[in-house]
Every structure is written in structure tokens, then in C-alpha cells.
């Protein structure tokens, strides 16, 4: 009997990727919610699972797996269920290209904007001494720096401008890609769609000047296809913050 436990936050960004992959494959798993806004990922209980203090992490029969995209590929290869990678080598290359593009180039810019407008304001309301102690417990120095910038609102204008530039270019590139085929990199739903969706699911709300039914009709059609999947509905029902409420708001925007 396979024993799978997923340690995750909300069903978006990095946490949402293995959540959706497991749901699509029909793999039963124990959900262990890690409240990122309470710094659960830096507490001893979780550091015993993943000493780097990053989320998500997954255990499978005692094996510990980290890094969201790598976990998705493991889930697809290891478990029965629908194949989330295309069989055609060229399609497979495109799927991997898009996942790398998101993970290394576009995703960090989405993340910086999200930390600046959502995570930072949510967390900085807490006691300053408590926050300082929580940040000091973060194992990775680059994550300590990112948290301090988010909490203090210290992302520079140059950093934010570069992130906005990349987001604009990324949205345009995705719109072009989805004009060629119904899904990202392939004619079938794949890991690339899961990867990209988890950072772009709210584009009509978060980037209304760049995305919407008039500006990006291909993206809007794709979002509707993805949002209509049972695995997506089930995964988003696991959310506990206001992020989960975006599902209904975005569906209204898509169907308007």
C-alpha cells in the first residue's frame, strides 16, 4: 500500500503543482497543511521533513521529495493514471521548455509581485519581535532576504519594474502559444499546464491591464478549460485563505 503525504500551503504557485498532479492521477494522499503566513515551514516539525524549510514536500513510503516540478514528474512517472506528459518527443520538449521558462524566468517575477502586494502586507501586521525571530529561523539566507524585503516593502523600483516587464512578456508569449494549440506545449493537458496555471490562474484579476477576454482571448479560453477540470475543482476546495475564493470570482470573469 502506497503511503503518500503532501506538505503544502494554498493550492497555487509551488504547492498547487503536486496537489494538482496527484489529483489528476487519482493518487490518494494525506494532506498536511503548512501555513506559510505563520512560518510553519520553518518550525522544527517541518524542518525534520525538509531541512531547507521550503514548501511543498512529499513523502512516499518513507522517501522524501522536494522541489515542486520534480515532484510532479515523479508523481506522473511513479503512479498509474492518465499520463501527464505527451508521447511525441517534440511535444515533450515543448512541455519541458515551458516548465523551465516558468520555474527559472517568469515564475520568480510573479512571486515577487505576489509577495509585494499580498504576502508582505498580510505578515507585517504581526509583532515585530515575533517576525524577527521567525525570519532568523529560516534556514536559507536567500529566503531570509526575500522575507525581509516582502515584510518591509523593500523590493526596489528596479526589481519591481523588471518583474512587471517579465510578466508582460510572459503573458504575451503564453497568449501566442495558446493560439497554436489548446494546451501549453501540446494538444493534450500536461504537466506544463499544471505548472503554468498555478502562477497564472488569476491573471484576469491580478493583471487586468495585460490579460482579459479582449486582450488575451486564447489565455481566457485555456483558463476556462483548466478551471472546468474536476481535479482543479477538488484541489481548490482544499484552500483555506482568500486565495481560494478567487475560483468563483475568476470563473465569473471568464464566463462574462
C-alpha 85/C-alpha 167 separation (Å) is: 26
Query: pLDDT tens across 57-104, in order?
Result: 999 999 999 999 999 999 999 999 999 999 999 999 999 999 999 999
Q: What is the mean pLDDT of residues 134-155?
A: 84
The CA-based angle 66-37-42, given to 5 degrees, is 50
Band of residue 256 on the pLDDT scale cut at 50, 70, 90: low
pTM: 0.92
Q: Which domains does the chain have, with CATH numbers?
A: 4-78 (3.40.30.10), 85-190 (1.20.1050), 204-256 (no CATH)
Q: How far is CA 39 from the centre of its chain?
A: 18
SS3 203: helix
Q: Would you say residue 254 has pLDDT above 80? A: no
How is 63-121 classified by DSSP, letter by letter? EEEESHHHHHHHHHHHS-SS-SS-SSHHHHHHHHHHHHIIIIIIHHHHHHHHIIIIIHH
- Is 211 in contact with 238 (CB distance < 8 Å)? no
Least confident residue range of 58-62, 126-130, 230-234 = 126-130
How is 22-40 classified by DSSP, letter by letter? HHHHT---EEEE--GGGTG
Length of the chain equals: 256
C-alpha 187/C-alpha 207 separation (Å) is: 26
Mean pLDDT, rounded, of the chain: 91
The CA-based angle 122-71-43, given to 5 degrees, is 45
C-alpha 53/C-alpha 42 separation (Å) is: 5
Amino acid at each position: 500500500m502506497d503511503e503518500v503525504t503532501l506538505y503544502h500551503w494554498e493550492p497555487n504557485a509551488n504547492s498547487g503543482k503536486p496537489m494538482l498532479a496527484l489529483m489528476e492521477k487519482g493518487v490518494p494522499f494525506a494532506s498536511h497543511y503548512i501555513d506559510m503566513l505563520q512560518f510553519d515551514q520553518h518550525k522544527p516539525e517541518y524542518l525534520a521533513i525538509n531541512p531547507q524549510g521550503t514548501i511543498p514536500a512529499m513523502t512516499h513510503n518513507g522517501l522524501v521529495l522536494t522541489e515542486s516540478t520534480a515532484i510532479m514528474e515523479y508523481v506522473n512517472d511513479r503512479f498509474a493514471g492518465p499520463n501527464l506528459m505527451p508521447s511525441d518527443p517534440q511535444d515533450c520538449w515543448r512541455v519541458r521548455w515551458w516548465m523551465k521558462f516558468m520555474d527559472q524566468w517568469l515564475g520568480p517575477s510573479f512571486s515577487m509581485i505576489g509577495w509585494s502586494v499580498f504576502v508582505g502586507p498580510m505578515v507585517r501586521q504581526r509583532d515585530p519581535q515575533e517576525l524577527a525571530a521567525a525570519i532568523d529561523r529560516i534556514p536559507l539566507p536567500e529566503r531570509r532576504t526575500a522575507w525581509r524585503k516582502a515584510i518591509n516593502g523593500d523590493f526596489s523600483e528596479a526589481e519591481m519594474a523588471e518583474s512587471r516587464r517579465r510578466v508582460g512578456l510572459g503573458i504575451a508569449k503564453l497568449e501566442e502559444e495558446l493560439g497554436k494549440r489548446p494546451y501549453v506545449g501540446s494538444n493534450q493537458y500536461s504537466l506544463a499546464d499544471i505548472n503554468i496555471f498555478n502562477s497564472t490562474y488569476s491573471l484576469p484579476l491580478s493583471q487586468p491591464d495585460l490579460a482579459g477576454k479582449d486582450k488575451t482571448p486564447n489565455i481566457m479560453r485555456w483558463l476556462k478549460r483548466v478551471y472546468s477540470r474536476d481535479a482543479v475543482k477538488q484541489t481548490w476546495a482544499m484552500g483555506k485563505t482568500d486565495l481560494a475564493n478567487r475560483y468563483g470570482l475568476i470563473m465569473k470573469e471568464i464566463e462574462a
